[in-house]
Amino acid sequence: MSAVLIAEEAAARAVPLVAGVLGAGGVAVAVLPSKVRMRAELRRRWRTWALVAPVFLGAYFLGGGGTYALAAGLGVIAASEFVRMAGLERGDHVVLAAAAVVLPALAWLAPDLLDLRMAALLLVAAALPSVLAGDDRSGFTRTARTAFGLLWIPVALTGLVTLGETAVAVGLAVALGDVGAWCGGTALGRRGPLARPLSPLSPNKTWAGVLGAAVATAG
């Protein structure tokens, strides 16, 4: 049985679980009294997951083309966010966006090409914009950040195409981990050692959130 069919079956098995969680969550947020301070935030988050879940699982029902479109779409969006966060230039953005489109396509159509030669090519691509622009002031920093972005975003997202049913499980774990992080940060992240920010880049993320994410993901 092909990996695509296995992934489709895994998505089908996940539907009752996802539907049950979303249904229970929807009922819970719907009956929250108006005096609950976080009611609007909880309802907004539920609507977001109600949209994300069918898009994610639907991609696997569509087969390889669906998972490619999912990985490429997420990669292009994430690359734009990373470029703004890392202070990169237009050329660096082009490299990241192109890799976000090409690497999942190779993972789908020609996975044998994703080897050490491709890794070397990605390193050259990361340096190319700075070299062509003659950027001898910040070129090394830009190259390092672009190389990290390539590893973090398009390379990682090829797993949505290649991991089959494991990717479905990982996607569900990520979703539950996100919810657990919010719950942990809200319940335990107000004071004490767990309230310490995880990173200056995202001061609202706390170690309490990490603990909540770990518990929910393991579950």
Residue 128: what residue type? L
Threshold 0.85, pTM exceeds: no
Task: Tell me, yes or no, whether 71 lies in a domain.
Answer: yes
Question: Is position 113 within any domain?
Answer: yes
Kindly report the backbone phi and psi dihedral angles of residue 194, in degrees, each rounded to the nearest multiple of 5, phi listed first.
-75, -10
Give me the pLDDT at residue 166, please: 86
- The reply to whether 83 falls in a domain is yes
Cα separation, 126 vs 146, in Å, equals: 5
Domain hosting 126: range is 65-163
The pLDDT profile of the chain, 219 residues, written as one tens digit per residue, is 466 666 778 778 888 888 888 888 888 888 877 776 777 888 888 898 889 989 998 888 888 899 999 999 999 999 999 999 999 999 999 999 999 999 999 999 999 999 999 999 999 999 999 999 999 899 999 999 999 999 999 999 999 998 877 888 888 888 888 888 888 888 887 788 888 888 887 778 889 999 999 999 998
Q: Give the CA count within 13 Å in the CB-facing half-sphere of 55.
A: 13
Whether residue 93 lies inside any domain: the answer is: yes
pLDDT of residue 193: 84
Per-residue confidence (pLDDT) for residue 2, from 0 to 100: 60
Give pairs for 118-126: CB < 8 Å, separation 24+: 122/147, 122/150, 122/155, 123/147, 125/95, 125/99, 125/150, 126/92, 126/95, 126/150
**pLDDT for the residue numbered 86:** 93
Please check whether residue 89 lies inside any domain of the structure.
Answer: yes
Residue 186 within any structural domain of the chain: no
The pLDDT of residue 4 = 63
Count the domains in the chain: 1
**Nearest CA-CA partner of 99 in 57, 64, 71, 59:** 71
DSSP characters over the chain: --HHHHHHHHHHHHHHHHHHHHHHHHHHHHT--TT-TTHHHHHHHHHHHHHHHHHHHHHHHT-HHHHHHHHHHHHHHHHHHHHHHHT--HHHHHHHHHHHHHHHHHHHH-GGG-SHHHHHHHHHHHHHHHHHHT-TTTHHHHHHHHHHHHIIIIIHHTHHHHSTHHHHHHHHHHHHHHHHHHHHHHHH-SSSGGGSEEETTEEEEEHHHHHHHHHHHH-
Q: Is residue 107 part of a domain?
A: yes
| Residue appearing with tokens 């319940």 | 187
Report if residue 85 sits inside a domain: yes
The pLDDT of residue 3:
60
